[in-house]
């Protein structure tokens, strides 16, 4: 049954394939004159039925499919899926493997944030800065490609450690450090440029405000929530990140500007983590082979994906096959809170507000 | 002759995400738009308007939900036109079409792309490297220029 839309007099449906969205989904904006009074988002276009495919397949195959949930944050899906087994069967992970997992994951978070800048700045209309995001991103993609052998699907974590091809030689470690330095300098300049650009700031300042109460009520997660003043990051709960010295970025404005600034500042924190990782990379084993698959009750793990909280949960049967697989990705709740944040804005700002939570529909629909 | 030259000088590419994991999409956008790889220097432009497009790039395994939209987009592209499948998903369905547990592989997949549209070029890889995408463009553009329409 159609909901009562109050005073709205125009409906603007967008999608499912539309230039403004890039990924297929279907927001419907209800407008009064040009002001958004209601927004409704339909998410079904990219549903591949991954959770259904998982039922009863061997756990190592399952891990590879979890990586195909998303091509932007692929490592974190795989890592979290692997962590479920490691937590359920108490498998220890060597320190060197922990370091490499963090390094690959954080570099991926960096490239993900840089895609967001490129996309958001293009929506604003500042194409030059958007292009520069891609220039800043490319050295990190090349570094990831050289470290892991693939530019997007790194396939780094496996149960009990990391894949041998992701184990860098001493030469590679030094090369990575030298590659990192100019790229980091460029990124720092670029971040400074975004934050000081009056034109960009005038377009995003005070738009699409999500208050702390709303963020908690609609369960916004990740940088979206942290820009609204919610101090929560799952990385602080994960042992692998305890080797590193870094800060959680929390801002309290809650508008589009703060969501962009939170990610910019997070990029600089990531650079700190990656540099520490390559400098202090310990020697030693990369894989613990001392474990056996068996019956495992349903176990749940949380992780911080680039966009926020990622939830994976499944159990194993006697043969080591996956049962009751369940996965929840951050964009579901983030887009829900953006539906609220874009109310009262003009239509052009509403599209920007939706994009400002960095929606990833391929994760969300699965 | 004149047609060939003019076609070669303004090739417009339209990209449709048909439900893959986004890896290929980002690589294509990165490849076409970014200043690092930059196919625009070879006069290949990315467009979002099917009436302007010459080449349709499709990524992903073509889900049932997107199939009608994809066909409508293909119909809207004026002749001559080519379809290129980018990435393993579009070529053979990848994990979504081939791997399955107790319930079999994914029910949502209508593809691979060759079942839905006539495919002229394939770019393999999961995801394909930008160099491969540029190489395929170099192969596909002369075919497009010599098409009889």
pLDDT, tens digit (0-9, with 9 covering 90-100), for A298-322 = 889 899 888 888 898 888 888 888 8
Alpha-carbon Rg for chain B, nearest whole angstrom, is: 15
pLDDT at B3 over 80: no
Predicted confidence at residue A5, as pLDDT, reads 64
Q: Across the interface, which of A19, A52, A152 has its CB nearest the CB of B23?
A: A152
Contact A17 B19 (CB under 8 A): no
Q: What is the CATH number of domain A50-213+234-247+256-330?
A: 1.10.645.10
Beta strands in chain A (DSSP E): 10-13, 26-32, 35-42, 157-158, 161-162, 296-305, 308-316, 322-328
Chain A partners within 8 Å of B100 (Cβ): 53, 57
Which chain B residue has the Cα nearest residue A20?
B48
Identify the CA nearest to A224 among candidates A97, A299, A110, A335: A335
- Residue A315 pairs in a beta bridge with A323
CB contact under 8 A, B73 and A17: yes
The answer, yes or no, to whether ipTM is higher than 0.85 is: no
Domain boundaries, chain A: 50-213+234-247+256-330
Preferred mutation among B49, B66, B101, B130 to probe A, highest tally of A CBs within 10 A: B101
The pLDDT, as a whole number, for residue A19 is 67
User: Comparing C-alpha atoms, which of A276, A290, A271 is closest to residue A240?
Assistant: A276
- Positions in chain A short of pLDDT 50: 1
Q: Which of B16, B95, B107 sits opposite A17 (nearest CB)?
A: B16
Q: Say which residues have a Cβ less than 8 Å from residue A41's Cβ, sequence separation at least 6.
A: A25, A26, A27, A28, A335, A336, A339, A354
Would you say residue B24 has pLDDT above 50?
A: yes
B125 band by pLDDT with thresholds 50, 70 and 90: confident
Yes or no, beta carbons of B66 and A17 under 8 Å apart: yes
- Which residue of chain A comes nearest to B129, CA vs CA? A151
Residue A20 pLDDT: 65
CB distance from A319 to chain B under 8 Å? no
Size of interface A-B (CB pairs under 8 A): 132
**A282 and chain B in contact, CB less than 8 A:** no
Nearest CB partner across the interface for B26, out of A50, A72, A365: A72
Residue pair B17/B111 in contact by the 8 Å Cβ criterion: no
Note the pLDDT of residue A1.
47
Mean pLDDT of the B88-96 span: 85
């Amino acid at each position: 049954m159609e909901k009562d839309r109050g005073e709205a007099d125009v409906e603007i449906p967008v999608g499912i394939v539309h230039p403004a969205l890039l990924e297929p989904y279907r927001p419907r904006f209800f407008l009064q004159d040009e002001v958004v009074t209601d927004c409704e988002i339909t998410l079904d276009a990219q549903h591949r039925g991954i959770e259904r495919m998982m039922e009863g397949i061997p756990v190592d195959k399952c891990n590879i499919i979890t990586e195909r949930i998303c091509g932007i944050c692929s490592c974190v899906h795989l890592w979290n899926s692997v962590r479920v087994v490691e937590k359920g069967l108490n498998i220890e992970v060597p320190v060197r493997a922990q370091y490499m997992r963090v390094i690959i994951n954080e570099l991926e978070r960096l490239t993900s944030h840089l895609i967001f800048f490129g996309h958001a700045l293009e929506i604003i209309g500042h194409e030059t800065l958007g292009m520069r995001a891609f220039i800043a991103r490319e050295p990190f993609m090349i570094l990831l490609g050289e470290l892991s052998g693939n530019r997007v699907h790194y396939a780094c974590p496996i149960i009990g450690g990391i894949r041998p091809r992701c184990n860098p030689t001493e030469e590679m470690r030094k090369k990575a450090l030298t590659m990192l330095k100019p790229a980091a300098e460029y990124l720092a300049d670029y971040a400074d440029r975004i934050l000081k650009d009056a034109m960009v700031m005038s377009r995003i300042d005070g738009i699409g405000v999500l208050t702390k109460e709303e963020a908690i009520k609609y369960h916004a997660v990740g940088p979206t929530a942290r820009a609204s003043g919610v101090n929560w990051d799952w990385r602080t709960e994960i042992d692998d990140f305890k080797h590193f010295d870094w800060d959680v970025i929390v801002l309290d404005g809650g508008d589009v500007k703060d969501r962009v600034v939170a990610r910019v500042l997070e990029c600089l924190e990531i650079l700190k983590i990656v540099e520490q990782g390559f400098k202090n990379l310990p020697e030693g084993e990369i894989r613990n082979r001392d474990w056996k698959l068996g019956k495992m009750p349903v176990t749940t793990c949380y992780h911080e994906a680039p966009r926020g909280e990622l939830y994976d949960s499944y159990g194993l049967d006697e043969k080591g096959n996956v049962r009751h697989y369940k996965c929840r990705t951050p964009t579901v709740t983030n887009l829900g809170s953006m539906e609220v944040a874009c109310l009262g804005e003009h239509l052009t700002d509403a599209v920007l507000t939706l994009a400002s939570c960095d929606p990833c529909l391929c994760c969300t629909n699965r | 002759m004149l047609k060939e030259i003019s076609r070669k000088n303004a090739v417009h590419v339209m990209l449709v995400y048909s439900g893959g994991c986004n890896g290929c999409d980002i690589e294509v956008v990165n490849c076409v738009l970014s200043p690092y790889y930059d196919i625009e220097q070879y006069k290949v432009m990315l467009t979002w308007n099917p009436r302007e497009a010459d080449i349709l790039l499709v990524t992903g395994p073509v889900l049932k939900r997107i199939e009608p939209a994809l066909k409508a987009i293909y119909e809207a592209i004026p002749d001559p036109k080519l379809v290129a499948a980018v990435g393993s998903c579009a070529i053979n369905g990848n994990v979504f079409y081939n791997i399955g547990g107790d319930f079999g592989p994914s029910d949502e997949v209508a593809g691979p792309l060759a079942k839905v549209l006539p495919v002229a070029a394939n770019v393999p890889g999961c995801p394909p490297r930008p160099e491969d995408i540029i190489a395929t463009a170099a192969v596909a553009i002369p075919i497009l220029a010599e098409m009889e329409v």
